[in-house]
Amino acid sequence: MPLEKYNKLRNFSKTNEPKGEVKKGTGSVYAIQEHRSSHLHYDLRLEIGGVLRSWAIPKEPSTDPKTKRLAVETEDHPVDYASFEGKIPEGEYGAGEVKSWDSGTFEIIDRKEDKLILEIHGKRLKGKFVLIRTKFGGDPKNWLFFKKKEEE
């Protein structure tokens, strides 16, 4: 069931995060959220198939193609999550403050099994970005996220 893991991890009588329901957004929702949980990280979210596919990026995303960021795939989130801001209470999953770092839309320019080329239309990130599954340390959840080099 989509979003089952998302719902299982949260107690909605305690957290203000949206309940996990599959619901279409604009079809191309893009967001990055700054999340001050036990470690500050940046959550990349892309609307694909009625949910937000999600990756936790431990360091601030960069617009320099040479600066490649680890992006650890996490559980799918509901589309409504893209506009969530607030404090997840102490003791709850992901406890800490969530606020918007970037938002907008995106398109998939090219998709291979373990590689997505995205065109991002955000306020901070604009242009082509690459998401590639590297499986660092043998972990399939490990991807890299970086700005695509401009073509000559």
Positions in the binding site for Mn ion (CB under 5 A): 35, 43
CB of 112 to Mn ion, least distance (A): 27
How many angstroms separate the CA atoms of 113 and 123, rounded? 28
Question: Both ends of the chain: CA-CA distance in Å?
Answer: 44
At 123, which helix (H) or strand (E)? none
* Owner of token pair 């080099």: 149
Which residue's CB is nearer to Mn ion, number 33 or number 125? 33
CB of 42 to Mn ion, least distance (A): 8
Strand 142-147 versus strand 69-77 pairing type = antiparallel
CB of 39 to Mn ion, least distance (A): 9
Which residue's CB is nearer to Mn ion, number 37 or number 115? 37
Instruction: Write out the two tokens for 14.
Output: 């305690």
Which residue's CB is nearer to Mn ion, number 93 or number 148? 93
Which residue's CB is nearer to Mn ion, number 37 or number 65? 37
CB of 41 to Mn ion, least distance (A): 6
How many angstroms separate the CA atoms of 26 and 73, rounded? 22
Contacts of 80 (CB under 8 A, 6+ apart): 18, 21, 23, 25
Which residue's CB is nearer to Mn ion, number 56 or number 125? 56
CB of 98 to Mn ion, least distance (A): 7
